[in-house]
Amino acid sequence: MKQSLPSPAFPPTRRRASAGLDALGFVGTSFQRLGFERLGRLVLSPGDVAARRALRAALGADELVYLATCNRVECYVALPEPVVPEALRERFVAFAEARGEPLGLEDLEARTGVAAARWAFEVASSLHSLVVGETEIAGQMRRANEEAREAGLSGDLLWRLHESVQACARRVRNETRISALAVSVGTLAVKKTLQCFGKQGPRRSVLVGAGLMTVKAARVLSAFPGELLFVNRTLGKAEDLAARFGGRACSLADFLAAPPEDIDLLFAATSAPEPIITTDCLRPAAVRRANAGGGPLVVCDLGVPRDVEGTAGDLPGVRLVDMNAVERLSRLRREELAGEQDRARELVADAVGRYERERRFAALAERSAQAFCRSNLAHLAPDERALVERFARQLGERLARQPAKLA
């Protein structure tokens, strides 16, 4: 946003929160557009700050918050100059193609300005989730915001946006029945798999991974008398889960070296960039169950990208429950929660309106402070004028966040 007087230089990661709404942008995609296989190939490895910096540069952004979940990959950006959504699509396509993942412009959703902010509010309120009302997305967005800040990828503008987004998500949970009926992707998937077993549940379950979805799956499965085996690359994380929910722990290397044959259920939800459970690893258990004439070996793969090789589902005696199956279940849930979604959208619209007023007020306060300093404080030294401007800007930010009747 152009200003009447040059502002003090700020590094890209310290962009001031009073920058105009036109600086906001969003570009991303989801399983609805790409399917889970292609979506998984776009996910940047956790902790790969260099790749995120390259993405920020490719998008021409000063700030970036990168979000990757089991059903979406999204970029929230603060831009030095306003752009049209098409430009963000083109830049993301170029970044993906440079990494060997071809995309079309039609594969991406992009928004700028207030529309970009509105999208963030809607996503955090689970209105675009695979499972409407799911309980994980707000936390995932909060962690993405914190990680971007810690890595020096984002600054005040996106931080303020996500503060407002989190407040809205809390209000939606508290004031609609979406909260009362909330369920996570992991919980929904496990409940689907339990339909394959009797009242006693699976006799022996293997849980691969140590993330939130694994924890929620373990919470459901621990209510049954069957044995739990926790598997992770880091043995200590598996041991922590075993101590928490009861069961045994095993490193991923040991599990792959000697895969057990007596398995009823394998649940996998990791952030691995490629499948870690091979078809050959599951073959002994599948053959044993097929020969015994019992129920199938149920494999629940919630990894994006896949944690289990897709060909595992072709083994005799294996029933594969993946993200596609969860998506089919979620359609029924959307119909059930249609009325609650309407109420949630009303709350989101109210929150977006407030956020827009706050940002415009803060931007006006900064421009006014700069004009005042230029006209009336020319006799001060540059550092003294900067101090006055900073005070006025901070005051404007505080006033902008007051209730409308006081602001």
φ, ψ for residue 318 (rounded to 5)?
A: -115, 130
For 133, half-sphere exposure in the C-beta direction (CA atoms, 13 angstrom radius) is 26
CA distance 55 to 66: 9
Residue with tokens 């070996």: 297
DSSP class of residue 23 equals G
CA distance 397 to 359: 8
Catalytic residue of the set 70, 168, 281, 300: 70
Helix residue spans in 293-401 (DSSP H): 323-336, 338-376, 382-400
Q: How many residues does the chain have?
A: 407
Encoded amino acid at 364, one letter: L
The two three-digit tokens of residue 231, written as one number:
């598997």
φ, ψ for residue 78 (rounded to 5)?
A: -110, 125
CA distance 29 to 25: 14
CA distance 230 to 214: 9
Residue with tokens 């309120």: 125
Q: Is 70 a catalytic residue?
A: yes
Residue positions annotated with a catalytic role: 70
